[in-house]
Amino acid sequence: MRLLAKSLKKEYEDNRYAFTLVGHLELGIQAALKFKTIAVIICHRLGLDMTPEELANTVALAIWIHDWGKVSGDFQAFIHSKSTKKLLKDWYQIHNTLLPVANQAIRHELLSVVLAYRIKSIYTWLKSASNINIAIALVGVITHHLKTQRQNYFASERIVIPLKIYTSKKQTSDFENILNLGVRYFEFSPQLPKDILSIEQLEVNDLQKWIEEVKDWCINIISKSCDRDLEKQKKVAVVKALVMSADLAASALFTEERGERDYTQWIEDALAEYLTASEIDKVIQATLKGKSLLPFQKKEKKYKSRVLIVVAGCGAGKTLVPFVRFQRLIKQELKAKMFFCYPTTATTSQGFIDYGLNLAQKELATISHSRSWVDYQLKFKDLMVSYERESNNKEFDPEEDEITSFQTKVEALKLWHSKLIFCTAHTVLGLIQNHRKGLYSFPAISQGIFVFDEIHAYPPQLFSALLQFFRIFRNTPMVLMSASLTTAQEKAIQDVLAENNESADVLRGAKEIEELERYKINKIDSQELAWAEIITELKNNGKVLWITNQVADSQHIYTEAKTRFTEAGLFKDLNASLL
């Protein structure tokens, strides 16, 4: 019997090996080993207390083990139920499909750790590895589906009958082939653990006991050992993110996505895509249109800190500053992908139009947010439509449906081979918030240099993630931009940087530009009078634009507007009328 890792899809017939459990694990190992090319960058940019070789090897071992638990009869029955009998028969000669079960007795990644950690002969065999952190590898295995905090995840009492597993040589040679991957890629002893190759089921008492032991081990590793120790937390988090990324490549980088390049060549090429000084110069010259840099923009070169804060009003020219800064650093042999992060999808699209469109047409730049597919469908034209339903703080849950999950994976892979990325801040800071897209994008993010624009508009949770990002990416160049950064926000940034004995330089816009008269301003003495004028304008079929620089204020104003406009008899569909 062939063991499968994924449900079969006819359109991916050329990728049959990738759907087998052996094939999926081998592709994962190959992806992880390609991460060796960026392991040096990761260890430096994050100040990681691991050698690059130890990091890459630990991730490779984890991805090899991560789906061992799919040998369970429950999981194989689930795969059979999600695949057509014709494909099972034609591709793998599986004639007798397994009957589906109502619920799987144990999640497959938990069973993977149970097999690797509690089957003594296997654990002894694994411990012979050199330059690999076995404990962190197993944490990467159990957390790669982000489920461990769910209630009843470790519910051993659900195991009421023996669990069928397909590891015996009598049933299949696949698990023996999986173990032989360890011999081939990690130089483990060719004397394989014999007992696992004769086991056909795990007894109830043994499995219940082992689940509880793994639970206690996880609590000790994750909660106790790493508690308040940022350096240990970083190692665990980096390995987990890279395990998920390797799993992503093995699950979604099919022939249709990678074109003529083979699997490992695509990964190697993607990870080696860096923005060049000449490409940045094209952005700068297209923006200047023959003019010179402003004196304010030229001052950038005087500031040497890793983090630069640019405070200037709209239209002052602050957006060119990070391009000028990073062009200079790249000329000094910095290799990096550049992320330009905005607080909303609309501002992301506009930034892409203004600064990324020329490079995007040459596939050097990309745009990434929850509605970016709309922008691509419009072929980069007329992007700034008025989106009626903003959901900038909500990421898609990739497990809502299969289409959304695959779209998230493909979008993350797109970031791997992009040089200049325009995205919502959640794309990058979602890494800190444990969002899948950020985790899947880690091979790209780990090589990034970053611009965070309009940081005054970040809600508290996102701003906190930004501060944590400073702590973790402690050797990564960044530019922060704002038209109206508050004193409290600036102090919070400086306080976090001071933890690493550094500070941010602050570049302020030219006063003569800031003080130019642009609007005719009328002051209204009270909010009540302001609301009355707004309602009058709307009743006369006019339009009102209310500007505030805080998300919390916008939410409060929106709530009050709904109440006042309802009482005034305005609008049948408030949600469609209030932007």
Give me the DSSP letters along 258-326.
HTTS-HHHHHHHHHT----HHHHHHHHHHHHTTPPPPHHHHGGGG--SSEEEEE--TTSSTTHHHHHHH
Cβ pair 218, 148 in contact under 8 A: yes
Domain annotation covers residue 334: yes
pLDDT digits (tens, 9 = 90+) for 202-254: 999 999 999 999 999 988 887 777 777 888 899 999 999 999 999 999 998 98
Domain annotation covers residue 391: no
Task: Indicate which CATH number applies to the domain containing 117.
Answer: 1.10.3210
Is residue 146 located within the same domain as residue 44?
A: yes
Q: How many domains does the chain fold into?
A: 3
In the chain, what percentage of residues exceed pLDDT 90?
59
Cβ pair 475, 47 in contact under 8 A: yes
Q: What are phi and psi of 53, to 5 degrees?
A: -65, -45
Crossing angle for the helix pair 487-498 and 460-472, nearest 10 degrees?
A: 30
Domain annotation covers residue 392: no
Domain annotation covers residue 559: yes
Mean pLDDT (whole number) for 270-299? 91
Domain annotation covers residue 386: no
Residue 551 has pLDDT above 80, yes or no: no
Instruction: Record the tokens describing residue 578, joined without a space.
Output: 């209030």
Predicted local confidence at residue 401, as pLDDT = 44
Mean pLDDT (whole number) for 451-479? 94
| Angle made by CA atoms 147, 392, 46, in degrees to the nearest 5 | 60
Is residue 339 located within the same domain as residue 426?
A: yes
Mean pLDDT (whole number) for 163-172? 95
> Residue length, the chain?
579
Cα 392 → chain centroid: 16
Is residue 161 located within the same domain as residue 226?
A: yes
Q: What are phi and psi of 86, to 5 degrees?
A: -65, -45
406-411 own/partner pairs: CB under 8 Å, 24+ apart? 406/252, 407/373, 408/436, 408/437, 408/440, 409/248, 409/251, 409/252, 409/440, 410/252, 410/257, 411/368, 411/372, 411/437
Cα dist from 324 to 35, 275, 277, 278, 475, whole Å: 30, 13, 9, 11, 19
Task: Please tell me the least confidently modeled range out of 290-294, 300-304, 569-573.
Answer: 569-573
In the chain, what percentage of residues exceed pLDDT 70?
86
For residue 471, give the nearest of 493, 445, 448 by alpha carbon: 493
Task: Indicate which CATH number applies to the domain containing 433.
Answer: 3.40.50.300
Domain annotation covers residue 208: yes
Predicted local confidence at residue 484, as pLDDT = 86
Is residue 137 located within the same domain as residue 163?
A: yes
Predicted local confidence at residue 110, as pLDDT = 95
Is residue 510 located within the same domain as residue 531?
A: no
Domain annotation covers residue 415: yes
For 491, the domain range is: 293-381+404-514
Is residue 531 located within the same domain as residue 506?
A: no
Residue 409 has pLDDT above 90, yes or no: no
Cβ pair 438, 432 in contact under 8 A: yes
pLDDT digits (tens, 9 = 90+) for 84-95: 999 999 999 999
Token look-up 């689930």 returns 78
Is residue 172 located within the same domain as residue 39?
A: yes
Residue 571 has pLDDT above 80, yes or no: no
- Class of residue 32 by CB neighbours under 10 A (exposed 0-12, middle 13-18, buried 19+): buried
- Class of residue 363 by CB neighbours under 10 A (exposed 0-12, middle 13-18, buried 19+): exposed
Higher per-residue pLDDT: 572 or 134 = 134
Residue finishing a domain among 255, 279, 305: 255
Q: What is the mean pLDDT of the chain?
A: 85
372: confidence class by pLDDT, cuts 50, 70, 90: very low
pLDDT digits (tens, 9 = 90+) for 316-348: 788 899 999 999 999 999 999 999 998 876 667
Predicted local confidence at residue 46, as pLDDT = 95
358: confidence class by pLDDT, cuts 50, 70, 90: low
| Cβ-based neighbours of 336, under 8 Å, separated by 6 or more | 274, 275, 326, 329, 330, 447, 448, 449, 477
Residue 480 has pLDDT above 50, yes or no: yes
Instruction: Record the tokens describing residue 336, joined without a space.
Output: 């990096």
Is residue 31 located within the same domain as residue 127?
A: yes
Residue finishing a domain among 514, 548, 563: 514
Mean pLDDT (whole number) for 474-500? 94
Q: CA 130, CA 567: separation in Å to the nearest integer?
A: 72
Mean pLDDT (whole number) for 68-81? 96
Is residue 104 located within the same domain as residue 33?
A: yes
| Residue spans of beta strands (DSSP E) within 104-228 | 163-164, 201-202
Mean pLDDT (whole number) for 455-462? 91
Predicted local confidence at residue 389, as pLDDT = 27
Predicted local confidence at residue 146, as pLDDT = 83
Domain annotation covers residue 276: no
Residue 403 has pLDDT above 80, yes or no: no
Is residue 137 located within the same domain as residue 206?
A: yes
